[in-house]
Amino acid sequence: MAASLTGLLKPWTPRVLLVRWSRYNPYYLEPEPRKEVYHIPETELTPEQKEERELKSVRPIKAATNSVTSSVFNDPVLSKFVNMMMKDGDKIIAKGIITQTLENMKRKQVEKYHKAPEGKKAETECNPYAIFHQALENCKPVIGLASIQKGGKFYQVPIPLTDDRRRFLAMKWMITECRDNKHRRTLMYEKLSQELLAAFSKEGNVVKRKHELHKMAESNRAYAHYRWW
């Protein structure tokens, strides 16, 4: 693929081109960013891993995206959330807001920890990552609604959701709630940290929205047979 393009390069063409979102030939393999995989010595490799290594020495590999790191602090769910928060491709601002949110949550929880009586101290969760994941779990809907046309009318039919769809809905609701329904002058990280802490203790508007969706699905269970998949 690259060999055919070098003839067309002109002096004004940029040398570094964006290739990641172009369609790769299926011949190309995915890159492996995790460090542990490369630290396994020769002797401990399973036959599949040996085969994979041999394949990698022959085949070309796709370019890694900018968001992939070999860092131990890499969190795919958090990266997805950052991408959803991002506006106009400005990931620096989005990442900055998320780090401020995590710091803010940690400070609030640590202060709560210091004020709590002895018995309650062990229960206060101070890890902002654990709070984030738990809050997101609490916001994920179990069942969703789809608009299905039957006999000229559209009915809201309860349908099962895939894991990806559930995660997407939880994040989307969280972000729209913080953008729209809060006081104009509070900063995004403050709004996000308040909403995440509320979702962690199963209160707040996002969890309420999830419950309302469940109630709608429950009330429409008569139409469940309209689903054909």
Partner 1 sequence: QIGFSLSQCHPFCHQTQVRPLHGSGCGQQQEAIGMETRPETFSIFRTQENDPACQSEQHLGQYYTVPPSHFHTVFPHGLPPRYQQQVKTFNEGCVMVRQPALELISHLKRADYSKPTLRYLLYGVKGSGKTMSLCHTVHYCSTQGWLVLHIPDAHLWVKNCKELLPSSYHASRFDQPIQASNWLRNFRTTNEHFLSKIKLRQRYVWTKRESTEEGRPLGELVDMGVSRVKSSSDVVGAVLKELRLQAGGTEGGFRLAVAVDGVNGLWGRTTLKKEDKSPVAPEELTLVHNLRKMINNDWCGGAVIATLSQTGSLYAPSSAYLPQELLGEEGFDSMDPFVPVPVSLYSEKEFESCYLYYLDHIHFHHWLQHPHSQTEEGKKELIFLSNRNPSVLERLCAFL
Does 67 bind partner 1 (CB under 8 A)? Our answer is: no
Smallest gap from residue 102 Cβ to partner 1 (A): 4
- The DSSP letter of residue 145 is E
Does 68 bind partner 1 (CB under 8 A)? Our answer is: no
The burial of 226, by beta-carbon neighbours within 10 Å (0-12 exposed, 13-18 middle, 19 or more buried), is given as middle
Q: How far apart are CA 32 and CA 70, in angstroms?
A: 9
What is the rounded end-to-end Cα distance, in angstroms, of the chain? 40
Q: How far apart are CA 124 and CA 32, in angstroms?
A: 37
Interface pick for partner 1 out of 53, 80, 91, 106 (rule CB under 8 A): 106
Smallest gap from residue 83 Cβ to partner 1 (A): 18
Q: How far apart are CA 149 and CA 154, in angstroms?
A: 4
Detail the DSSP E strand segments found in the chain. Answer: 143-150, 153-160
User: Would you say 129 or 168 has its CB closer to partner 1?
Assistant: 129
Smallest gap from residue 208 Cβ to partner 1 (A): 28
Does 103 bind partner 1 (CB under 8 A)? Our answer is: yes
Does 79 bind partner 1 (CB under 8 A)? Our answer is: no
Range in contact with partner 1 (rule: CB under 8 A) among 43-51, 127-135, 139-147, 197-205:
127-135
Torsion sign, CA atoms 39, 42, 46, 52: positive
User: Would you say 102 or 217 has its CB closer to partner 1?
Assistant: 102
Does 122 bind partner 1 (CB under 8 A)? Our answer is: no
Q: How far apart are CA 104 and CA 190, in angstroms?
A: 7
Written as six digits, the tokens of 20 are 């990641």
Range in contact with partner 1 (rule: CB under 8 A) among 101-109, 155-163, 174-182, 197-205:
101-109
E strand or H helix that includes residue 168: helix 163-180
Interface pick for partner 1 out of 12, 21, 27, 73 (rule CB under 8 A): 73
Binding site for partner 1 (CB under 8 A): 71-73, 99-100, 102-103, 106-107, 110-111, 113-114, 118, 121, 126-130
